[in-house]
């Protein structure tokens, strides 16, 4: 199975791109969703986070208080590094399990949707990387509409994120999402065609071994 990393800044449109790939039978694993699913009460990941940050990060029902944890780490780089070290390790392990399950049912291509693909080191587990980029104004507008926050809050969020060049310089394929949905669909179609050829080549090499 060909594993393609899918990454890009917030508001670039990774979710839309993943849904368009699904039209071609390409399933995706959303690592943000994986993180939410592996931090259930008393889970190994959550227990490790509690050990690192104290029980104050828990809600009364035992679930993770994401806002409280965010308030602790986003103003302290050292604490953010601790969080990432724990979370990325557990997310990687769970994502690898889900990739194995997709391969077992015959998927030829799978996407790993990861905003911090490079920072987490998961790009090394991928055969290729696809990034989605968009102009800053477009990303700001989408974040405001998607999350229901002010433009000022959206600008603050983007201020702490990587620039487009960070992604384009490290990726094998670049999908620009500044135009219409039709234009985006055409770019996804072109990228799928390239990935499909790579998947075929990888499968052929596997049969020769």
pLDDT score of 208:
47
Cβ neighbours of residue 35 closer than 8 Å, sequence gap 6 or more = 87, 90, 91
What gap in Å lies between CA 163 and CA 199, rounded to an integer? Answer: 30
For residue range 9-44, list pLDDT tens digits in order: 989 999 999 999 999 999 999 999 999 999 999 999
| Number of other CB atoms surrounding residue 193 within 10 Å | 11
DSSP secondary structure string for all residues of 16-69: HHHHHHHTTT-EEEEHHHHHHHH-STT-HHHHHHHHHH-GGGB-TTS-B-HHHH
For residue range 38-65, list pLDDT tens digits in order: 999 999 999 999 999 999 999 999 999 9
Cβ neighbours of residue 150 closer than 8 Å, sequence gap 6 or more = 144
Which residues on adjacent β-strands are paired with residue 133? 176
pLDDT score of 207:
57
pLDDT score of 28:
96
CB 208 within 8 A of CB 201: no
Going by pLDDT thresholds of 50, 70 and 90, the confidence category of residue 188 is: very high
Q: Which of 2, 40, 5, 19 minimizes the C-alpha distance to 115?
A: 5
Q: Is 76 exposed, middle or buried (0-12, 13-18, 19+ CB in 10 A)?
A: exposed
pLDDT score of 70:
85
- Domains of the chain with CATH codes: 1-26+113-209 (3.40.50.300), 28-106 (3.40.50.300)
For residue range 141-183, list pLDDT tens digits in order: 999 998 888 888 888 878 878 899 999 999 999 999 999 999 9
Residue 105 has pLDDT above 50, yes or no: yes
What mean pLDDT is predicted for residues 124-138?
95
Going by pLDDT thresholds of 50, 70 and 90, the confidence category of residue 94 is: very high
What mean pLDDT is predicted for residues 113-124?
93
| CA atoms within a 13 Å half-sphere pointing along the CA-CB vector of 99 | 22
pLDDT score of 205:
79
């Amino acid at each position: 199975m060909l594993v393609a990393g899918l990454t890009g800044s917030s508001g670039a449109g990774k979710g839309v791109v993943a849904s368009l790939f699904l039209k071609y039978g390409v399933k995706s694993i959303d690592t943000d969703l994986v993180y939410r699913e592996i931090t259930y009460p008393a889970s190994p990941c959550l227990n490790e986070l509690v050990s690192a940050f104290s029980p104050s990060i828990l809600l009364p029902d035992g679930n993770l208080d994401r806002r409280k944890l965010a308030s602790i780490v986003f103003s302290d780089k050292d604490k953010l590094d601790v969080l990432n070290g724990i979370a990325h390790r557990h997310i990687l392990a769970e994502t690898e399990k889900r990739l194995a399950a997709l391969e077992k049912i015959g998927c030829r291509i799978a996407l790993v949707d990861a905003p911090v693909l490079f920072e987490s080191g998961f790009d090394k587990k991928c055969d290729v990387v696809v990034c989605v980029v968009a102009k800053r104004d477009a990303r700001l507008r989408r974040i405001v509409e998607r999350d229901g926050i002010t433009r000022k809050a959206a600008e603050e969020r983007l201020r702490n994120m990587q620039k487009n060049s960070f992604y384009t310089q490290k990726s094998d394929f670049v999908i620009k999402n500044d135009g219409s949905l039709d234009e985006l669909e055409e770019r996804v179609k072109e990228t799928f065609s390239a990935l499909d050829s790579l998947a075929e080549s990888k499968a052929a090499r596997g049969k020769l071994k």
